[in-house]
Amino acid sequence: MTIESHRDGNALGGVLMSLFGVEMTHRRGCCGGCGAINTLGEMHIYVDAPGDVVRCPSCQTVLMVLIRIESVVRINLAQLAWMEMPD
Partner 1 sequence: MDGTALPRRLTWVVAEVVSSVDETRRARSIVLRCPGWPGHLAGQHIDIRLTAEDGYQAQRSYSIAAPADGEYVVITVELIEDGEVSPYLVEDLVMGDRIEVRGPIGGYFVWEPSLGGPLQLIGGGSGVVPLMAMLRARVSADSQVPVRYLSSARSLDRVLFRSELARIGRDVDGVEVLHTLTRTRPDGWDGLERRVDADMLQSHAFAVSERPTCFVCGPTPFVEAVSSALVALGHDPGRVKTERFGPTGG
Where does this chain bind partner 1 (CB under 8 A)?
A: 1-2, 5-11, 13-14, 17-18, 21-27, 39-42, 45, 47-48, 86
What are the start-end ranges of the H helices in the chain? 13-20
Please report how close the Cβ of residue 24 comes to partner 1 at its closest, in angstroms: 8
Report the distance separating Cα 38 and Cα 66, nearest Å. 19
Please report how close the Cβ of residue 37 comes to partner 1 at its closest, in angstroms: 12
* 63, HSE (Cβ side, Cα atoms, 13 Å): 30
**Between 39 and 79, CB nearer to partner 1:** 39
Please report how close the Cβ of residue 50 comes to partner 1 at its closest, in angstroms: 13
**Between 25 and 79, CB nearer to partner 1:** 25
What are the start-end ranges of the H helices in 8-71? 13-20
